[in-house]
Amino acid sequence: MAAAVQGAGIADRDATQEQTSEQDDRALAAVFKAYTISATCWLLFGTAVGLLLAFKFGAPDFWAEKYLTFGRLRPIHTNSVFYGFASIGLVGTAFYVTARSCGTRLYSTRLAWLGLWLFNIAALTGTIALDLGYNWGDLEYREWPWPIRLVLLAALLVTVWNLLATIARRASHDIYLSNWYIIGGFLWTCVICLVAILPWYQQGLGQVAISGYFMHNAVGMWFTPLALGLFYYAIPKVLNRPIYSYALGVLAFWTNLVFYPMLGGHHFLFSPLPWWLQTTAIICSVGMLVPVLGGSANFLLTMRGRYHGRIESYPLAFLFIGVLCYLVGSTQGTVEALRSLQAVWHFTSFTVGHSHLTMYGFVSFAVWGAIYALLPLATGKNPGRLGVATHFWLALVGMSIYVIALSIGGTLQGLDWVRGVPFIQSVAEMAPYYLWRGVGGILMFLSHLVFAWNVWRMTAGKPGNAPSPIMEPEGAAA
Amino acid sequence: MNPTRKMWVIFGGALALYVLIVMLIAVIPAIDLSHTAPGPGVQPLTPLHVQGREVFAGNGCGYCHTQQVRPLTEDKVFGRPSAPGDFSYQTPELLGSERTGPDLTNVGKVKPSDVWQYIHLYDPRAVVPQSIMPNFRFLFRVVDQLPAGETAVPLPAKFAPAHGYVVPTPQAKALVAYLLSLKQQPIPGYVAPAEAAPAAAPTAAVAPAAAGGYAYDAAKGQALFEANCAACHQASGAGVPGAFPPLKGNAAVASDDPGLHLRTVLHGASGVVIDGVKYSSVMPPFAAQLSDADIANIANYERSSWGNHGKPVTAAEVATLRAGSK
Ligand code: HEM
Ligand code: HEM
């Protein structure tokens, strides 16, 4: 089995596989390119809004007009980075990974374009609706009016159909691990969308149960499996060696499936939700250590002995940080879910730090790493070395400042409440931490501008001088 | 197994298992919870309150304000722990996940004055200088002539527009009506868990302290005043002209007889004429939140600050007035 996997996992175009025609390759590259460019636009828009939000914590009267008020821009930030940037970026790369790991062409390019349109229509109309004040109850990540969320569901269905049909065309008997995670993520997310829309069980407290379920299933059963799917392909690919353990990957898949869906209740610890639901969520949050440690160990062991390569190869550096933040962020989540610590951290900015450590450090770095590793293979154009390095360091330093500032500030905020000081004092004490968050945010945003430049060079512009993302196989290099 | 079969087995299995888990962990409990009976006194929302709630959600107030009180000591300032029956008519739910600002479950009790709410929405810093809440001026209009039946929002001069009157739009009115309707209903026979639980640290000797051993604690008095009173009367004691009376130089505070002063704090007031100005906004009662010693500390802080020289009060006097006027 390992040999087959190695073949599927590594080769860009491998002699043992069905030969795809040049025309098919060009079509696949065009799809990958278009999704990446679209994701980049949403990244720039969404994080410009994020930066403005961060600024508003220090200057609440700045741009407080109706269409620029904090409460309308905040869901625009979260939804556009979720469904615009991260989702479209992951989906475009997933097309490439699935087709390549199956050694076949994409089942339908037309469906891929249709999917791109649907994702963009949803994100665009969603943004407009939120700005006009059509917000469904401030229910995080499902604020869009339901017809718009149906468009998103349609995008998912069209895409998963396309991917399944691609996998059905594969030459080998095995289905490479990446595709387990990618298809799993799509199928589960269709269920998530449907459960979040149907109204019959969403009255009062019933809806609270669904909100808890939705918030962490959207991140845990959509972004997480897709990002992991990219890791399973891109890391072996860049390193030019097989994944350390196939079996560990399968174990992580099934344990992820069992534990993740059940931990949603941890968003409402100490709420009037039934105590058993909250306790199950806590137990499963601890159970999540199995897939998290298993998955991370698998990736890190695949990189074993090639650590110096992380510096030489920036795609690998991005992927490495992604793995690390997956490990650290998820472990942080487990600790956060324990009742004694929730009592301090719940409702504070500490949670916002966790959101960015995971969604930024893990998911966004995974997207960037996979794009830097794979897009040049598809288009034959490398970005500039300096550009990629600048993106990496700005994003990493910026995110670290952001997360550390909010982790410290959020903890102090929580302790203030426990000590029972007047609420407004806890607000005033956060000021320096909000400021540092903004400083980190500026670096992060600058890094996105550099990323956009790099994407331009990998697609339409003049290619740069970065070396091929694929490293020399062991022994070959001096 | 043929390759296509294999594909359907893996993905079909993963999907079926997921649907099963989702049913058990989310949908079935949610069906059950959707039928939670309303708690005692919990009423459906009026159309005006529904409209206000939409303004609330549409402008994202819920990203900074929760509406759920946890059974934790630190949450006691916001009210009793939320009960399942509190949420019967709350769809979409607005429990929230972040407290950049305070919980609003009981804001109708804590800040019962519509005037305060209007001033605060128009410019939060007009009443709470350290606030980082955005202003919601777009919910107000500035007019040159006051329309019949409208009252202008009495803004402090520093925050008022150069000319004209500020009047709330219908959305602002609906929003404030909704905010003022946010009040927990008492649950008969309910005892706060912190007090009921034997494990809770014994908060020793409240009664003896109230009876005899009271000593004025200036730092505590100031902290309590800033937490409970400064939003209206301002930390400077100067109040907000036309809306909230100054306590600096106030007759009730200066008087040797603490009756009016303490009764106002215990039971609240509205429509009182002070120094020739009639205040139509509401002063909330504090008897339920604050102990006798707390109230005495606040009163003494007021009596000895901003140039006031009132005769000090004792916790025993508060206890007598509290009992006497029941
Ligand atoms: C320039 C970079 C960014 C900045 C300055 C930024 C800033 C912010 C700010 C100020 C908030 C509101 C926090 C609050 O209400 O207390 C926020 C929320 C959020 N952002 Fe970002 N953000 C950035 C990038 C991203 C990216 C790339 C993602 C995801 C891929 C992301 C995901 C989120 C999420 C999930 C929340 C909600 C957090 C929660 O409710 O716990 N952000 N961000
Ligand atoms: C073992 C894994 C994880 C556990 C146990 C966990 C636990 C938690 C907990 C307890 C909260 C609620 C915090 C609060 O409200 O006080 C939370 C929030 C959050 N988590 Fe995780 N986490 C894990 C992994 C992840 C990953 C991998 C991601 C991103 C892909 C993620 C994204 C988020 C986001 C966005 C929120 C904010 C939700 C909101 O309030 O809007 N988490 N997590």
Range with lowest mean pLDDT among A240-244, A353-357, B214-218:
B214-218
State if residue A282 touches ligand 2 by the CB under 6 angstroms criterion: no
Going by C-beta distance under 8 Å and a sequence separation of 6 or more, which residues neighbour residue A396? A321
A105-160 residue pLDDT tens: 999 999 999 999 999 999 999 999 999 999 999 999 999 999 999 999 999 999 99
- A219-228, A339-348, B213-222: range with lowest mean pLDDT: B213-222
Query: Are A272 and B84 an interchain contact pair (Cβ–Cβ within 8 Å)?
Result: yes
Mean per-residue pLDDT of chain A: 92
Indicate whether B325 pLDDT > 70: no
For chain B, the structural domain boundaries read 39-186, 207-324
- Per-residue model confidence (pLDDT) at position B202: 38
Q: Which residue has the higher pLDDT, B215 or A187?
A: A187
H or E element: which one contains B141? strand B140-143
Please tell me the total count of domains within chain A. Answer: 1
pLDDT the model gives residue A57: 97
The pLDDT of residue A10 is above 70: no
Which architecture characterizes domain B39-186 according to CATH? Orthogonal Bundle (1.10)
Give me the domain span that covers residue A409. Answer: 2-477
Q: Which of ligand 1's atoms lies nearest the C-alpha of A56? A: 10
- The reply to whether residue A420 touches residue B94, judged by beta carbons under 8 angstroms, is no
* For residue B210, pLDDT beyond 60: no
Please report the pLDDT score of residue A150 as a whole number.
97
Residue B72 has pLDDT above 50, yes or no: yes
- CATH number of the CATH domain containing A17: 1.20.210.10
Percent of chain B at pLDDT exceeding 90: 68
Nearest alpha-carbon partner for B71 in B212, B241, B196: B196
Domain B207-324, CATH homologous superfamily name and number: Cytochrome c-like domain (1.10.760.10)
Interface test with B, best of A77, A102, A107, A203 (most B CBs within 10 A): A203
Say which DSSP state A193 is in: H
- The atom of ligand 1 lying closest to the CA of A442 is 1
Q: What is the 3-state secondary structure (H, E, C) of B147-198?
A: CCCCCCCCCCHHHCCCCCEEEECHHHHHHHHHHHCCCCCCCCCCCCHHHHCC
d(CA A208, CA B241): 43
Kindly give the pairing relationship between strand B273-274 and strand B277-278.
antiparallel
Contacts of B137 in chain A (CB under 8 A): 64
Among protein residues, the one with the nearest Cα to ligand 2's atom 38 is A215
User: Distance (Å) from the C-alpha of residue A292 to the closest C-alpha of chain B?
Assistant: 18
Distance CA A222, CA A316 (A): 23
Judge whether residue B47 has pLDDT over 70: yes
CB A138 to CB B102 under 8 A?
no
Closest CA to A397 of A445, A359, A363: A445
pLDDT value at residue B192: 56
pLDDT of residue A475: 59
B124 falls in which pLDDT band (50, 70, 90)? Answer: very high
- Would the CB of A331 count as within 6 Å of ligand 2? no
Query: Which comes out higher in pLDDT, residue B105 or A6?
Result: B105
- Check if the beta carbon of residue A274 is closer than 8 Å to that of residue A349: no
Interface touch B86/A272, C-beta < 8 Å: yes
Q: Dump pLDDT digits (tens) for B230-275.
A: 888 998 899 888 889 999 999 999 999 999 999 999 999 988 899 8
- Closest-CA residue, ligand 1 atom 22, reads A50
> Does residue A145 belong to the interface with chain B, where contact is any CB pair within 8 Å?
no
Confidence of residue B289 (pLDDT cuts 50, 70, 90): confident
Average pLDDT value over all residues in chain B: 89
What pLDDT is recorded for position B200?
Answer: 36
Averaged over A192-202, what is the pLDDT?
95
Do B207-324 and B39-186 fall under one CATH topology?
yes
CA distance A48 to chain B (A): 19
B301 to chain A: which residues are within 8 Å by CB? none
Contact B63 A74 (CB under 8 A): yes
- Whether A288 is in the pocket of ligand 2, judged by its Cβ within 6 Å, is yes
Contact B152, B243 (CB under 8 A): no
Q: How large a percentage of chain A has pLDDT more than 90?
A: 85
